[in-house]
Structure 1
Amino acid sequence: MGKSSQQIKKAQAAQKSKRRIFTASGVAAILLIIAIIAIKANTGSKSNAVNSGGDLTILKSEVTEVAKFYPYKLGKTKMEVLAIKADDGTIRTAFNTCQVCYSSGRGYYKQEGKVLVCQNCGNRFQADQVEIIAGGCNPVPITEEYKTDDGTNIVIQAEIFEAAKDLFANWKR
């Protein structure tokens, strides 16, 4: 028994509808991927490896103008180091916590273009100034005396994490 022309039209309409749904969901998926890429570009990237105790080693070749965040755990305290390549090509490092707002637990930074923004007070800090400026609402610098550069890696000494542990006591990142 053959299908009537009305049944054929319904079947064709259903196929068009399915194509529209697929197309709409395809567009939504592409937009989601674009949004994720944009967020990564604006907030920096986070290293997947969590360092526990010991020195923290940062591979210099992975550090760019987009801040990279390196998690570190000392006992039960979660900490984070940010590394960024400045316009002059140097790699700058700091603890991802604000020298003023750290006790709030929200005194950490996210990158917006060439600026780091404190998530507690909204202070905007030029990314090129990481490690250069100390005091005020700025990331806590990790200066030359606490790290070594072997040409391939920057190694941050474990002792500085112990000294900075209290800065992360209320940290909520």
Structure 2
Amino acid sequence: MEPAYRGLGRCVCCFWLAVAFDVVGLLVLLLGVFVDVFFYDLLIYAGAIVIFLSLVWWVFWYSGNIEVLSAELEDDVGLTKKDKGGIGKAVRRLSNRLAGSIRSSVRRNGGTATGSLNRQGGGARRSAAAVAAAPRLEQVVVALATLKPIDERLHTCGSSVDHDDVEMPSTATESAPT
């Protein structure tokens, strides 16, 4: 038998925290409005923020006191009645078997495409199946350098470009999985 909750409900602590935040926030806000201090704006903003944060405790208190009948929970969380039979029971059994076989095949093959770590090697190595199944996602590093032309005749200088500098067209690099 569940205990009967009266008055404030189940989440009494959240209720009193919400009330305390409201009272403190209101006091700080009113201090900022009516007391003549040079930091009145700080008090007004701080009071408003504390009152806003009290909403978190109000939501916790409210959501903690929501009553849901077990009949309504049946579909949402997977609670099933024992006397149900027929097609629903067969479909549920088939669904559980299918999900279990998929789950076990994923475990057997080493996980998803990104690869799951081999538990026997302490997580440091991948299993052979995971390495074979997962595409290689290593980054390829390409180094580019600007070189001077070997033959001076190939270097034509029609503008104010110095003979020691070489103008190179802008290049783009890309790395692809190997």
Q: Give the TM-score category using the shorter length.
A: under 0.3
Determine which structure has greater relative contact order: mean sequence separation of CA pairs < 8 Å that are 6+ residues apart, divided by chain length: 1
TM-score (norm 1): 0.25
**Higher helix share goes to which structure?**
2
Tell me which structure has the larger Cα radius of gyration.
Answer: 2
**Higher strand share goes to which structure?**
1
TM-score (norm 2): 0.24
